[in-house]
Amino acid sequence: MPPEITISHTAQKAWLTPLLCLLCGGALLGLSTNLAKLAGELALAPLAFLTWSISAAAIILLGIATLRNTLPPFTRRTLEYYGVSALVGVAGSNFIFFSAVPHVGAGFVALIIALPPLLTYVGALALGMERFNILRATGVVAALAGAGVLAINKLSASNADNFWILVALLGPVLLAIGNLYRTLRWPPGVAAAALAPGMLLAAAIMLLATGLLTDLPLRLPQEKALPLALIGAQALVFSGQFLLLFTLQKIGGPVLLSLLGAVGAVVGVPIAVLLQGEAPPQGLLLGALLIGSGVALVTLGRAKTSVR
């Protein structure tokens, strides 16, 4: 095969696979926030909905790992990895988001999940995980600016619930910490398909313990089938989302991974507006254009770096 063809194929692989993981994972993330709003409308408590959805997703991914012969290993290193990853990337952040959705709307939560890129990029530069790249830096700033336009408009609204807005803004900080931690502490030789179910299993245990040690309800409505169907749908979304998350983490790194939220915003906000009847956020067009441009620049910057 001629060298130029090899380089072309390498370049295509360098950006296409991560981009597909980013787009599909982000779409599932945007869908997840809207399912959380539906759960609230069905009187499903946030902790109950999250706990049983995560538990079912863990079972699904454990089944897939069994078929692939990639069951999660249980060593001191991996147990630490599952626990910390679950706390910041699943249990803590999602509990914040799911609790905030009834107060600030699915559209706003989808938007603020787009905020971690700058935190992740700055952290990756400080820790020596990334070299400065002007395209990637511009892309991260553009994506953050797009999310910022939408968030500022939400905060300035006359009916804004400032307490829940501020609580919800803690979620992106946890996500950024998780993005960096999972790359820094990735157990050597362990596949993404093994780490995803291990993390979800740890998250399910944490959420169950929270329910048992507090007054937060874990019970599900018994008289209707719709809540159970919604939990099943969320479990499938979580399964795909976190499997793609670990795959993207491995091949794309923490900064590209952090743009999952930006894609989730572009998908989640229109769903909230068109299907759930939420008012369109002010500045939606400008925000979406900036976020889309940011995703493109970060992906292009990574592809150029990969083939040098």
Cα dihedral across residues 32, 34, 40, 43: positive or negative? negative
Helix and strand numbers, DSSP H then E, in the chain: 13, 0
- List the single range of 5-9, 21-25, 78-82, 112-116 with lowest mean pLDDT: 5-9
- Check whether 188 has a pLDDT greater than 60: yes
Q: What is the pLDDT of residues 62-89, one digit of tens each?
A: 999 999 999 999 999 999 999 999 999 9
Query: How close are the terminal C-alpha atoms of the chain, in Å?
Result: 19
Residue 91 makes CB contacts below 8 A (sequence gap 6+) with 50, 54, 203, 206, 207, 210
Residue 229 makes CB contacts below 8 A (sequence gap 6+) with none
The highest-confidence range among 1-5, 43-47, 266-270, 302-306, by mean pLDDT, is: 43-47
Question: pLDDT confidence of 104, banded at 50, 70, 90?
Answer: confident
More confident residue, 132 or 203: 203
pLDDT at 307: 46
More confident residue, 209 or 289: 209
pLDDT at 15: 67
Cα 51 from Cα 47, distance rounded (Å): 6
